[in-house]
Amino acid sequence: MNLTELNRIATAMVVSGKGILAADESSGTIKKRFDAIGVDSTEGNRRDYREMLFRSTEAMSQYISGVILYDETIWQDAKDGTPLVKLIEQSGAIPGIKVDEGTQALPMCPGELVTVGLDRLAERLKKYYERGARFAKWRAVIDIGSGIPSMTAISVNAHALARYAALCQAAQIVPIVEPEVLMDGDHDIDRCYEVTTRVLNETFQELRVQRVALEGMVLKPNMAISGKKCAKQAPIEEVAEKTIRLLRACVPAAVPGIAFLSGGQSDEEATAHLNAMHKLGPLPWGLTFSYGRALQAAPQKAWSGKAENVAAGQRAFSHRARMNGLASKGEWQSSLEKKAA
């Protein structure tokens, strides 16, 4: 393992002013996205859509540091025969790959899930590295509800995250460690804070046990935020303050950076929360975004599967990427959204 190189890549992934595009939707998830805009989810349409994003010169070169790909996408070529990973590299961004294989019901823990995909992962990582991937992602899912999460669910998911991270570093690939506490319930921000603290503490304990070099990884956590069904939604400033407080308590300074997931927030909410956190610096790690839907909803709608709309889709993508790039430096203002409307 070349830790110097892993650290260089991890640091580049969370550089100020740029963030990570999560374009790793599973076939099922992107079908739902395409259904919403009236587009058939064929391999060709999925390729065309992602090629549109990766050829968005302004967004990719100025505001995107890396792209998380799905297994189908990393092997696809653009219409002109150029591998999609090469388009990403040519823009100056780093190609990455989602390597978990989804979730299964966790035995003896009703309503809870465990992420799977460790079998043959070492073999898959070698092939992904040869194709150009220099980082990977594994997502653990922790739900909040009546009597959950259990310590069992937190422990087994943290253990799997750590095993994945160790395998990545052994393959000279930077692991994005993503323990996501879902915001789907009716819990308040303090409940999210408490559960996220438990999850992060257990995750870093397991990372140490598995001898993962913290200098060669990136953390992708949720924010401390109210559940979607909570009657009282915490304001932007409270989300920022409590998120930074729990990260300072749980995340070692050796970690090069933190790239938030958007987790179902609206486009502007995700941007505003990230921006507010940068008002609370200086911070011991880079702090940026790794958004999927919050970067892609607008360009998907603008594109709508039509070749004549490619330029409009790219403009929408560039706008959202720029807004989040500014937020990752604490320079975003809501008035910038109105100007672009």
How far is residue 113 from each of residues 25, 154, 186, 197, 291, measured CA to CA in Å?
19, 10, 19, 19, 22
Catalytic residue, candidates 25, 178, 202, 206: 178
Give the SS3 label for residue 15.
Answer: coil
Q: Catalytic: 178?
A: yes
Q: Catalytic: 228?
A: no
Asked if the bond preceding 95 is cis, omega within 30° of 0, the reply is no
Alpha-carbon dihedral sign for residues 154, 159, 165, 167: negative
> What ranges in 171-284 are assigned the alpha helix state H?
189-209, 236-250, 267-277
Catalytic residue, candidates 18, 98, 220, 242: 220
Amino acid code (one letter) for 202: E
How far is residue 120 from each of residues 31, 96, 209, measured CA to CA in Å?
27, 18, 21
Active site residues: 178, 220
